[in-house]
Structure 1
């Protein structure tokens, strides 16, 4: 049913409408409501949400139609507005159309024409509402995939991290090594499928964007192909890579990697014997050609192979298709698959403004060749002289092709494992790490892996993590992003904007791998960003690098404060915390009673918190920091020509003799000797 609100100050309009549309009303197709002024109509629209269409007279007292039209835009509802006026009022009608009216009718009203206009407007409103519903559903679907990806990535981390450590420690027995390799490969395959589902959802909702980078495209794709070499050798297939490219290109590494990976994996999966060739050709655009001598795709199936979740292969030959006897080489899961890979190839190609085409031949008799050729055209811009090559190596791992494989994979190379060097922080203690993670198993895993190197605290959510961080001042916070009560973004923002905690390094550990999520984390002040699932050794190395950086910064400030000959420029300090301390001490420079307690009170911290923070930042106690600041300011006054007694009082010493003793301890000369230099 379409609910129509008629807004007109002429009372005879109501019986005319009721009479003309009586059948529609009786059939419950239309329901009419009437208002005789703009204000009455606005009140009705604000209180009733089921009105679909407004027939609005332009010329009315109190509130005219144009004014009411403006008010309707604030209701945040989909309404179809049809303006009603006289021929002589076309200028106002034009204004109304520019302000969002869908159509207009003129008086005297042609009711047959009005009926057509109402139907057209009602259809427009339905389409708008359906479009909005689809948009909401799409956003809900994307959020669901994003959340479910996070839920998958956390248990995958709990699988891959222990397996990684076991593979490093155990090279025998062979049965154990083979089993661990199988677990790792299948976990990586599950991760790849989860990522593909997420990308499809983002493509559908328009949330997947390109992040082009400059690099050697030929070498990058060559590395992807090389991942499949052991699989091709194991199955007796010839894997060939050819490239005519010589230039550097700007391309999205992640998208190109997924595209090529899926095409090569698909070709190998359905090629029981023969060869798979990957060729890169240059022209007006980059052409990626993946050809195989596999079983081929029947012509009637070709139009559907890029459809989502469509699976073209069946266990039995297609009508008229000849399959050679290669049961010993064809993977047991020839009919397996999700129907995601080729759909993702097509949509990623279109995202990059490219095209993908396929040609295939099916063998119908022994000796007749078969095979498939996929051709992808990508209009990638060339970069003649890149100043820096920023493309990383491919991150994907080859599929685990056969669950019955008896060939154990080589044990991981442990020579690159970071040494378990125990770094010492302030006071000779190990650095303090706060782990904020809502998944109890992952939290325990991280605590177990890091507790040998660092002192470790844990929190179950961001809110608890924030409280602990303020009370304990850890050297580093390792936080998840998606958490109850307070997520990792908000926790990072608070840590980096509070004077108490802004020195703490923050590493975000998350399943949200999309570039916008990474950018958001870095914008909030995160020092590093690690994706789930992660390698424990990589995590340890990144934490170690951050702690080394903190040590160097502490040493830098300690050198500035502790060495009398180092130039003292407090006005140029970049650390906000130190700037605050400088300004507070300077404001009370001549006050001998302004000490540690007073400074802590002024800065808004407890004495314990100020002591610990200053020690972490400068490796100095509060007393040492204040004394050295005053002595350096004294040195400046002496160079300006002030005498010793005056200088002593200016920097807060009541006894010039005591000032002389303290000054000589720091500068190895008396104030008078210093002034004579």
Structure 2
């Protein structure tokens, strides 16, 4: 803990040095500051709750679009909230309020109701390394507020403080909505062919990290065009839901749930390609959700990304033990989330190929792999009725005790093909073995594999193997 604190102080001093030397080159963004503040504040709620402090956030408008530097705003709010929590006692409240003033500036207020700051200290608290005379408060470094003021001033704003002993303190940060110079500010606007949820069309500032359009383009180009992944987003914060939806490529099908219970129901119904979930949710939290998904033969293949403010090493280890594939801290960087999604989907695609190749080769696979066991079970069921031409995907679903749509989603995710194609490929693979090992006519082998139309059997066989049954039989072994 002390090491982490020392690292934070060192980083702040280095940042101040870079700013003073003119070597800092921050990236300006234009976006909805309300959404970004909400995510930063969310990362402090658990810490405040542990101190029995209630952290409240309100905004005069749901959309306050402005020019700002995200990591500067992050550091400003983290310093102000850390101080507010430090000097607030159990049972107290901390109010964070953002307001838009005359369409010219945004005013951020962080107010606590703690002991307050003595008048003799007020004029010095923004000085570097200044610490108050009160010994109970003399537990800081005197860096945070000086660094905060520097960041505010770089964004052409100002910071003020009002305090009364035994009543509390309020820090007031005023920032212009629009910078007088362009400062290479990126602007995000939806493209004509881009699908944007109707609830977002009035809130184009939600996509704060605006370079994400480039990242989305790269992901779309690297992905196969015939795949439209379904993303199940489980999150009880509406702003975060809309923000993530804005980040996802338009080709993704996104479905949302409010908590783990609703999310698990939707997962069983839809069998999504990937799940993105918060950890702290009502009814069923993200850890419990992960455990139940990993125990489900129907859902265990689905990659899970946890987004959370719980970022201690114990929390991360708990998430991994519960079966999470990735654990991302709020507020997160847009590119980290998108790259994680892409990587997990690509890994699942490679696993599909491995599963099917191993299955058809008859390799001795790890019996503890629940997805392989599912495929083996499905394969055994098909082979029992391999000579029955009336055995269909509906028959397979009934014998597996799942719905046809669930079977379709599960096999697509695990094997990379539809149930009908899965059955067809097994029939052809069975025919291939018989053609090599049994001295029977091609017509008899076709019937034993469920094909009673020789022309259809030949066409199907050639489509999947690139040779006719008779040519396959004559191939050198």
Tell me the distance in 1 between the aligned counterparts of 2:249 and 2:210: 22
What residue is the counterpart of 2:76 in the other structure?
Answer: 186
Matched, 1:482 2:372: no
Superposed CA deviations along residues 165-221 of structure 1, whole A, max 9, x for unmatched, are x8xxx8xxxxx558x776332223256669999xxx9xxxxxxxxxxxxxxxxxxxx
1:621 to 388, 408, 418: 418
Unaligned runs of 5+ in 2: 1-44, 91-113, 157-182, 187-208
Structure 1 residue 455: Cα displacement: 2.5
1:479–1:509 CA contact under 8 A, matched in 2: yes
Tell me the distance in 2 between the aligned counterparts of 1:676 and 1:567: 21
What residue is the counterpart of 1:406 in the other structure?
Answer: 153
1:500 to 280, 294, 298: 298
Matched, 1:441 2:239: yes
Tell me the distance in 2 between the aligned counterparts of 1:412 and 1:652: 64
Structure 1 residue 649: Cα displacement: 4.1
Structure 1 residue 652: Cα displacement: 2.8
Structure 1 residue 531: Cα displacement: 1.6
Tell me the distance in 2 between the aligned counterparts of 1:657 and 1:596: 22
C-alpha RMSD of matched pairs (Å): 4.8
What residue is the counterpart of 1:377 in the other structure?
Answer: none
Structure 1 residue 429: Cα displacement: 5.2
2:461–2:469 CA contact under 8 A, matched in 1: yes
The TM-score normalised by the length of structure 2 is 0.58
Write the mapping of 1:186-205 to structure 2, written as runs, cut at 5 A.
Answer: 186-190=76-80
2:303–2:325 CA contact under 8 A, matched in 1: yes
Q: What secondary structure does 2:236 align onto?
A: coil
Superposed CA deviations along residues 392-450 of structure 1, whole A, max 9, x for unmatched, are xxxxx976535376334998999986622253878835422111112233333333333
Tell me the distance in 2 between the aligned counterparts of 1:642 and 1:152: 80
1:435–1:478 CA contact under 8 A, matched in 2: yes
2:398 to 596, 601, 612: 601
2:131–2:138 CA contact under 8 A, matched in 1: no
Q: What secondary structure does 1:509 align onto?
A: strand
2:48–2:55 CA contact under 8 A, matched in 1: no
1:194 to 1:555, Cα distance in 2 relative to 1, 3 A = farther
1:153–1:191 CA contact under 8 A, matched in 2: no
Tell me the distance in 1 between the aligned counterparts of 2:85 and 2:313: 14
Q: What secondary structure does 1:631 align onto?
A: helix
1:537 to 312, 335, 357: 335
Structure 1 residue 464: Cα displacement: 0.9
Tell me the distance in 1 between the aligned counterparts of 2:128 and 2:327: 38
Structure 1 residue 592: Cα displacement: 3.1
Tell me the distance in 2 between the aligned counterparts of 1:655 and 1:495: 43
Tell me the distance in 1 between the aligned counterparts of 2:252 and 2:79: 33
Matched, 1:631 2:377: no
1:675 to 1:407, Cα distance in 2 relative to 1, 3 A = closer
Tell me the distance in 1 between the aligned counterparts of 2:253 and 2:362: 35
Tell me the distance in 2 between the aligned counterparts of 1:144 and 1:662: 59
Structure 1 residue 459: Cα displacement: 0.9
2:125–2:131 CA contact under 8 A, matched in 1: no
Structure 1 residue 155: Cα displacement: 6.5
Q: Tell me: higher relative CO, structure 1 or 2? Use CA pairs within 8 A at least 6 residues apart.
A: 2
Write the mapping of 1:320-335 to structure 2, written as runs, cut at 5 A.
Answer: 330-331=127-128, 334-335=131-132
1:554–1:619 CA contact under 8 A, matched in 2: yes
Structure 1 residue 495: Cα displacement: 2.1
1:648–1:659 CA contact under 8 A, matched in 2: yes
2:386–2:450 CA contact under 8 A, matched in 1: yes
Q: What secondary structure does 2:239 align onto?
A: helix
Tell me the distance in 2 between the aligned counterparts of 1:458 and 1:489: 18
1:440 to 1:310, Cα distance in 2 relative to 1, 3 A = closer
Tell me the distance in 2 between the aligned counterparts of 1:465 and 1:449: 20
What residue is the counterpart of 2:385 in the other structure?
Answer: 588
What residue is the counterpart of 1:513 in the other structure?
Answer: 311
Q: What secondary structure does 2:378 align onto?
A: helix
What residue is the counterpart of 1:568 in the other structure?
Answer: 361
1:656 to 1:401, Cα distance in 2 relative to 1, 3 A = closer
Tell me the distance in 1 between the aligned counterparts of 2:336 and 2:135: 32
Tell me the distance in 2 between the aligned counterparts of 1:183 and 1:432: 33
What residue is the counterpart of 1:244 in the other structure?
Answer: none
Q: What secondary structure does 2:149 align onto?
A: coil
Structure 1 residue 484: Cα displacement: 1.4
Superposed CA deviations along residues 627-655 of structure 1, whole A, max 9, x for unmatched, are 11121122122222342355334423345
Tell me the distance in 2 between the aligned counterparts of 1:456 and 1:653: 40
1:666 to 452, 464, 469: 464
Tell me the distance in 2 between the aligned counterparts of 1:431 and 1:151: 41
- Bigger radius of gyration among the two: 1
Unaligned runs of 5+ in 1: 1-142, 171-175, 202-308, 317-325, 346-396
2:462–2:469 CA contact under 8 A, matched in 1: yes
1:447–1:456 CA contact under 8 A, matched in 2: yes
2:126–2:145 CA contact under 8 A, matched in 1: no
1:341 to 1:195, Cα distance in 2 relative to 1, 3 A = farther
Structure 1 residue 605: Cα displacement: 1.9
2:360–2:429 CA contact under 8 A, matched in 1: no
Q: What secondary structure does 1:401 align onto?
A: helix
Q: What secondary structure does 1:508 align onto?
A: strand
Tell me the distance in 2 between the aligned counterparts of 1:457 and 1:636: 43
Q: What secondary structure does 2:154 align onto?
A: coil
1:149–1:511 CA contact under 8 A, matched in 2: no
Q: What secondary structure does 1:582 align onto?
A: helix
Tell me the distance in 1 between the aligned counterparts of 2:396 and 2:251: 34
The count of aligned residue pairs is: 345
Superposed CA deviations along residues 488-533 of structure 1, whole A, max 9, x for unmatched, are 1222222222232223221111122222222222122211111223
Q: Return 547-556 or 603-612, whichever deviates more.
A: 547-556
Write the mapping of 1:292-303 to structure 2, written as runs, cut at 5 A.
Answer: none
